[in-house]
Structure 1
């Protein structure tokens, strides 16, 4: 009888987890790139990479912490989804969790930015 399922000794699971984390980063970069291109940046790729590291818009400490917490939670959820599933279910689960995590992060940042612009 198997009571719990943990990480296997198969190195393929670790590659999937790293790949899922990379997918999350690529999706995040893509959203930032699209935002910078729409705003008319001269070099949207450079601006998007800079935004992932540090925001140009001033955020309060609480908003910045919440944004980073959502981002880290989404990345952790993607890695866990990749680590604890197998086969075709893994691919679907990782894709769905990554899209949901990035969407939640982008939605929070959009709402925080809109709220900050209304206050000014």
Structure 2
């Protein structure tokens, strides 16, 4: 039982979890903002936040496509492989570079899926 994982006991672990959610939200907002600017919206910031309020767009919930599921599973497998196969500073460097890229990629896949669902609904 000494190897069992639990919720973090220190603030650093909780900051890591909070950081992943914040990075995901920031990436989703960035992609929505960029799309609104590309579409020529007068207020791209307002449009980026309004996208999250649109009930016709699936923002959260289950996997809506095989790409989302494969991206989630592949990301989880890659993070576990890095955590198991490396130690010390190499693990730290890889996790601090790979995990943000994976989070941003998953946010982009979710954004794209929501955008396609929104265009089909309208």
- TM value normalised by structure 2: 0.63
Deviation at 1:107, TM superposition (A): 2.6
1:96 and 2:72 matched: no
The runs of 4+ residues in structure 1 deviating greater than 3 Å are 113-117
Kept after mapping to 2: 8 A contact 1:36/1:47: yes
In structure 2, relative to structure 1, the CA distance for the partners of 1:93 and 1:5 (3 Å cut) is: farther
Which runs of 5 or more structure 1 residues have no equivalent in the other structure? Answer: none
| Count of aligned pairs | 101
Q: Which moved more, 1:103-112 or 1:36-45?
A: 103-112
1:41 and 2:41 matched: yes
Which structure 2 residues correspond to residues 51-62 of structure 1 after superposition, within 5 A?
51-52=51-52, 54-55=53-54, 59=56
Deviation at 1:114, TM superposition (A): 4.4
- Which whole-Å deviations, capped at 9, do the CAs of 1:10-29 have from their partners, x for residues lacking one? 21010111111111111011
- TM value normalised by structure 1: 0.63
Kept after mapping to 2: 8 A contact 1:70/1:104: no
The CA distance in 2 between the partners of 1:13 and 1:4, in whole Å, is: 16
- Which whole-Å deviations, capped at 9, do the CAs of 1:91-119 have from their partners, x for residues lacking one? 234213312321221231233244446xx
Q: Which moved more, 1:94-103 or 1:17-26?
A: 94-103
Which runs of 5 or more structure 2 residues have no equivalent in the other structure? Answer: 84-90
Kept after mapping to 2: 8 A contact 1:33/1:48: yes
Deviation at 1:70, TM superposition (A): 4.9
The CA distance in 1 between the partners of 2:111 and 2:29, in whole Å, is: 11
